Amino acid sequence: MSDSTTTLPTVVIGAGPVGLAAAAHLIEQGIEPLVLEAGPSAASAVREWSHVRLFSTWSEVVDPAAEKLLAPTGWTHPDGATYPTGGDWAEQYLQPLADILGDKVRFDATVTGVSRAGRDRVVDSDRDQQPFTVHLTTADGVEERILARAVIDASGTWATPNPLGGDGLPALGERAAANRISYRVPDVKDPAVRERYAGRRTAVVGTGASAFTALACLADLAKEAPGTHAVWILRRGVGASTFGGGDADQLPARGALGLRAKAAVDAGHATAVTGFRTTAVEQDGDRLVLVGEDDRRLEPVDEVIGLTGFRPDLSFVSELRLALDERLQAPVELAPLIDPNVHSCGTVYPHGVKELAHPEQDVYLVGMKSYGRAPTFLAMTGYEQVRSVAAALAGDHEAAARVELTLPETGVCGGAGLFDEPDTAQAGDGGGCCATPAALQIGAAPATGGC
């Protein structure tokens, strides 16, 4: 890379927890960051699940470099032994961090494409000597182009939830029924949301922590609104591990969430349908009927909540030479370490720039985006990723290779937690699930509490 290119900023895509941490680590390394956020404020995705409480305590979701930036301002670290909600995380930590970064963060700036200046993905000539060109669109529809020395994509996966279809594609009729299908954990304390589900029959599709949260929320609602019932759709059967790690989970709040979901089923507030892979969503008057690949037709429901995970949006980085695993859409060196068929959160080996590298030099997918379709991401993992990447960009390869992180084991990772659960309001063992629900995140993965 030429000397003129190294004077350009490093563009960070996304002002969420990992994107803002990346900016803090870049500053610590003497590198100028420019964070581009599609939303109107910091942590826009996190704010969409502000009612959800994280699995992790405050001591586990504040990045060390970010805390160093905040400390001189008089910022006070929240009680490290308590669990923040998504709203707490955004308002008490992420927004103040963005405020400190000032004009190094641009809001309402949607990245639409990234490439090498004057080089599409086919051209080899002097490729690594060219700066990156980042195209964006503002809230007013104005198009801009920014040159960058490096690109760190921390845009996450929150905006691209998986569809209901068991084959990874939208089920037939899924788009037509979009007004009756949600891909988010409901905030039943919101009057409008409460009205949508109270006294109604709702299908909850998914087996992760977000599905657990939805089941527990609807079970709480059923105690107050007769007729409220959840139909829990699982692609597999119900076994010993269906409800996560329970009391053995090193993240106690995460284990408690699985137990809450089990209690909802045991109490009759939810009915499990196993071995069901959705192929179609049919209209039955004002209700919906889910059809499985085995031609089973379930009883009509009023609403559907699809919580089957997330996937990365790779459209705006398609001109870059990325080495991605064919299954997970994660960097090829990272994929074997995070394969959900093998690993839970705690068995993911700590990793850094080596596992995140691509044939395209100086471009990195980090945070939830780096995990592709794997739901095993932890917030602390993302913070360690960007520490390593920033060190590598600064030329400190020894520091970049020095990855030290101990992660909690067992249980289902990713997903959303409940709100204000008194029995799990204090910290236990373990460390930092992401707070971006469902694969959370957003993201993302949150803890317990009455909805």
Residue recorded with tokens 């190294």: 6
**436: in domain:** no
Q: Express as a percent the part of the chain with pLDDT over 90.
A: 71
| Whether residue 291 is found in the same domain as residue 334 | no
Q: Which domain holds residue 368?
A: 3-159+311-424
| Whether residue 10 is found in the same domain as residue 72 | yes
CA distance 416 to 424: 15
| Whether residue 290 is found in the same domain as residue 190 | yes
Give residue 233's Cα distance to chain centre: 22
Under 8 Å between Cβ of 441 and 377? yes
Q: How many CA atoms lie within 13 A of 173 on its CB side?
A: 15
CA distance 26 to 105: 13
| Whether residue 259 is found in the same domain as residue 351 | no
84-142 pLDDT, tens digit per residue, is 999 999 999 999 999 999 999 999 999 999 999 999 999 999 999 999 999 999 999 99
Domain count, the chain: 2
**135: in domain:** yes
**438: in domain:** no
CA distance 282 to 279: 10
| Whether residue 183 is found in the same domain as residue 322 | no
| Whether residue 271 is found in the same domain as residue 315 | no
Of 278, 306, 334, the residue at which a domain comes to its end is 306
**232: in domain:** yes
For residue 425, what pLDDT is reported?
36
**93: in domain:** yes
Give residue 280's Cα distance to chain centre: 27
Q: For the packed helices 379-393 and 17-28, what is the interaxial angle rounded to 10 degrees?
A: 30
**279: in domain:** yes
| Whether residue 260 is found in the same domain as residue 366 | no
**CA-derived radius of gyration, the chain:** 22
Under 8 Å between Cβ of 184 and 213? no
Give residue 122's Cα distance to chain centre: 32
| Whether residue 322 is found in the same domain as residue 390 | yes
Of 260, 286, 306, the residue at which a domain comes to its end is 306
| Whether residue 115 is found in the same domain as residue 147 | yes
- 97: exposed, middle or buried (C-beta count within 10 Å: 0-12, 13-18, 19+)? buried
Answer whether residue 443 shows pLDDT above 50: no
Of 247, 272, 306, the residue at which a domain comes to its end is 306
pTM: 0.88
**243: in domain:** yes
| Whether residue 191 is found in the same domain as residue 104 | no
| Whether residue 392 is found in the same domain as residue 299 | no
pLDDT band for position 442 (cuts 50, 70, 90): very low
CA distance 212 to 264: 9
| Whether residue 288 is found in the same domain as residue 343 | no
158-201 pLDDT, tens digit per residue, is 999 999 999 999 999 999 999 999 999 999 999 999 999 999 99
**CATH code of 189's domain:** 3.50.50.60
Worst-scoring range by mean pLDDT, 186-190, 214-218, 289-293, 447-451?
Answer: 447-451
Under 8 Å between Cβ of 322 and 284? no
pLDDT band for position 346 (cuts 50, 70, 90): low
**431: in domain:** no
